[in-house]
C-alpha cells in the first residue's frame, strides 16, 4: 500500500501546495485537482491536513521543484505506512488513532521549531541585514497567527524578479528559509511570505518593530542608528527601494527634465529621521509636514546624483529611470 506523507507543520504543508501552484503554473486549485486526477474536495483534504498525502502523488508534484526546495521539504516531512493516520472528517479510523495522530503531530511541530528555521536572532548587524530591515520598514509586515509566524513583503508585479533574487537569496543564505512568492489573482501585486518564528523575533524583539500594522509608527531601529554610516545608508537604501519614487519633471519651465526622488509616507516621525540623516550625509532635501502630503523630497541633478552615490538603489525600477542621468 502506498506510503503517506505527513508535513512537520501546517505552514510547511501550506508552503508545499502553494509552490505546486507556482511551479506548475496552475491558476486555481480546481485546475490542479484535474491535473492530478482527483476530486477538488479530496485536494482540499490534502491541503488542510484531513488526509495524509500519498507518497506517489507527493513525488509527482515535487518533480518540478528546484533541488533546494526538494531538499528543504524532504527535511520537513515524515513517511507513514499507507494504513495509518487517514482522516476523513471524523471517521472511525481517525477516532481510533486520534491520540496517536495528535501526539505525532505535536512531535512533528516540535521538530519543526527545533530545526526547520532556527537561527540566532543576534546575528551580526551588517549592511545586508540593515538593508533587509530598511526594505521591511517600507514594504514589510509581520504577525502571529495561531501556531505559526509570518513575515511578508508586498510589491508591484513588475518587481517580482527583484524580490525573487534579492529576498529569496538573502533569506536562503542568512536564515536558511525558503520564501514563498505568490502573484495576486486580483490586483497588480505580489506577496513574499516567510514562515519563521525566529525571523518574527528578530524583527519584533531585537529591532523593536511591532507586529501588525506599523505604517504610522515604525522607525529606524536604534541599533541601526548607533552603527556606522555604511550600515545606516544600507537601511535607507532598503527603505527607498521599497517606498521611494524617481521621476523627472518635464514641464517647459525646465531646459531639460528635472530629476526628483520622493519618499511619500504617512509617518512624519520616520520622515523626520530620514530628513535628518540625509542632511547629515550632506544630501540636501526638503520635508513637507502638511497632512496628506508628508514627504521627503530630493530635487535637482546635483543632489540626486549625490543621493545615488552616497545611498544608491538596488531596485531595477529606480535604476532604469536614472540610467541616463
Q: What is the pLDDT of residues 229-275, one digit of tens each?
A: 999 999 999 999 999 999 998 888 888 889 999 999 999 999 999 99
Q: How far is CA 207 from CA 137, 235, 315, in A?
A: 11, 12, 24
Phi, psi values for residue 156, rounded to 5°: -70, 150
- Region 288-312: mean pLDDT is 93
Sign of CA dihedral 312, 314, 317, 323: positive
What dihedral do alpha carbons 266, 268, 269, 275 form, nearest 10°? 110
More confident residue, 234 or 86: 234
Q: What is the mean pLDDT of residues 98-118?
A: 52
Of 3.30.70.1070, 3.40.50.12780, 3.10.28.10, 3.40.605.10, the CATH number of 241-322 is 3.10.28.10
Sign of CA dihedral 77, 82, 87, 93: negative
**Separation of alpha carbons 180 and 315, rounded Å:** 20
Assign residue 153 a region (left: φ > 0; alpha: ψ between -120 and 50; beta: otherwise).
Answer: beta
**Least confident span in 13-27, 179-193, 281-295:** 179-193
The CATH superfamily holding the domain 127-217 is Homing endonucleases (3.10.28.10)
* pLDDT mean over 214-228: 93
Q: Given this model, what pLDDT does residue 209 score?
A: 96
Amino acid at each position: 500500500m502506498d506510503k503517506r506523507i505527513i508535513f512537520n507543520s501546517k505552514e510547511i504543508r501550506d508552503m508545499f501546495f502553494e509552490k505546486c501552484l507556482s511551479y506548475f503554473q496552475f491558476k486555481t486549485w480546481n485546475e490542479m485537482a484535474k491535473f492530478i486526477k482527483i476530486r477538488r474536495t479530496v485536494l482540499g483534504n490534502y491541503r488542510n491536513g484531513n488526509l495524509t498525502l500519498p507518497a506517489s502523488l507527493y513525488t509527482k508534484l515535487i518533480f518540478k521543484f528546484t533541488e533546494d526546495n526538494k531538499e528543504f521539504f524532504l527535511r520537513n516531512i515524515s513517511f507513514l505506512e499507507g494504513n495509518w493516520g487517514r482522516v476523513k472528517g471524523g471517521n472511525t479510523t481517525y477516532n481510533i488513532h486520534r491520540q496517536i495522530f495528535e501526539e505525532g503531530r505535536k512531535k512533528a511541530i516540535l521538530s519543526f521549531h527545533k530545526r526547520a528555521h532556527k537561527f540566532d536572532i543576534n546575528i551580526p548587524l551588517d549592511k545586508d541585514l540593515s538593508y533587509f530591515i530598511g526594505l521591511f520598514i517600507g514594504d514589510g509586515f509581520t504577525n502571529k497567527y495561531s501556531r505559526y509566524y509570518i513575515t511578508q513583503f508586498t510589491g508591484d508585479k513588475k518587481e517580482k524578479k527583484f524580490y525573487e533574487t534579492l529576498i529569496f537569496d538573502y533569506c536562503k543564505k542568512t536564515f536558511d528559509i525558503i520564501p514563498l512568492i505568490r502573484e495576486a489573482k486580483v490586483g497588480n501585486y505580489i506577496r513574499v511570505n516567510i514562515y519563521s518564528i525566529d525571523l518574527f523575533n528578530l524583527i519584533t524583539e531585537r529591532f523593536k518593530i511591532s507586529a501588525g500594522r506599523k505604517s504610522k509608527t515604525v522607525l529606524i531601529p536604534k541599533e541601526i542608528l548607533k552603527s556606522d554610516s555604511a550600515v545606516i545608508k544600507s537601511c535607507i537604501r532598503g527603505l527607498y527601494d521599497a517606498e521611494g519614487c524617481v521621476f523627472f519633471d518635464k514641464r517647459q519651465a525646465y531646459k531639460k527634465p528635472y530629476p526628483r526622488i520622493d519618499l511619500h509616507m504617512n509617518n512624519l516621525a520616520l520622515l523626520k529621521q530620514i530628513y535628518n540623516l540625509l542632511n547629515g550625509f550632506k544630501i540636501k532635501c526638503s520635508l513637507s509636514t502638511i497632512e496628506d502630503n508628508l514627504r521627503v523630497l530630493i530635487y535637482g541633478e546635483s543632489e540626486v546624483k549625490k543621493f545615488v552615490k552616497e545611498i544608491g538603489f538596488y531596485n531595477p525600477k529606480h535604476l532604469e529611470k536614472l540610467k541616463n542621468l
